[in-house]
Structure 1
């Protein structure tokens, strides 16, 4: 089975790692620091078993952090305690994009971390296509 590991970019990866530890309970597993300027060229952490990579901006390689509130990618993080996880993240400095609610596909909410990344915190519920079709009614056609 293939996996996809997100590789984030931040303007201040050291601060981002502190935020993720506080807000998400992240555990840092790897850090490569440039001895000349102190930038972090690569770091890794896990959140509830999910692996994430992150680095400081690297303009020479065309790698930039997202502008706040403007990102083309959202990260979906499935956790057992959506409400507790979400509240902890907001207390640590995340901004609510969409509050936690119940929906046909489970409980979840959307937030931005202070480094411009958008996260969908969601429950591990799984519905069949037939169950989803019944739940959403005519709002969407589900193939």
Structure 2
């Protein structure tokens, strides 16, 4: 099996409304790095995008007549759960669960503007 460098054997793939704006959200909140961006023939609809957050990759594309929205729940470790949670809310996310101390770390949940739930946790 030959997996491209920087990829893992399993990678989340999201189909999103406003997929291009997902780049901006993940950069602002989680410090994501853009890996790839390609557009449909109209040069407006995102065909395929990839970001890296730490050593993890998330792939995504734009909803279309052929592909409906396919959201996800994502668990992410961060240095400071409270600061990242606030950053997410500032960038359009809504609270799912406030940040509290849990047995596994300080954790809270937000739903991003694209319908994905992020479980933000500092171990």
Same fold (TM over 0.5): yes
Per the normalisation by structure 2, the TM-score is: 0.84
Question: Paired residue for 2:112?
Answer: 113
Secondary structure of residue in 1 paired with 2:24: helix
Counterpart check, 1:33 vs 2:34: no
| Higher share in helix | 1
Stretches of structure 2 lacking an aligned partner (at least 5 in a row):
1-7
The within-5 A match list for 1:15-34 is 15-34=21-40
Question: Paired residue for 1:64?
Answer: 68
* Larger RCO (alpha carbons 8 Å, 6+ apart): 2
Q: What is the number of equivalent residue pairs in this alignment?
A: 116
Q: CA deviation at 1:37?
A: 5.0
Counterpart check, 1:51 vs 2:57: yes
Per the normalisation by structure 1, the TM-score is: 0.73
| Higher share in strand | 2
Q: CA deviation at 1:48?
A: 3.0
CA contact (8 A) 1:23 1:90 kept: no
Q: CA deviation at 1:22?
A: 1.6
Distance 2:85 2:9 in 1: 25
Larger Rg: 1
Cα-to-partner distance string for 1:4-52 (whole Å, 9 max, x where unaligned): 3111111111112112212222111100111335211110011233211
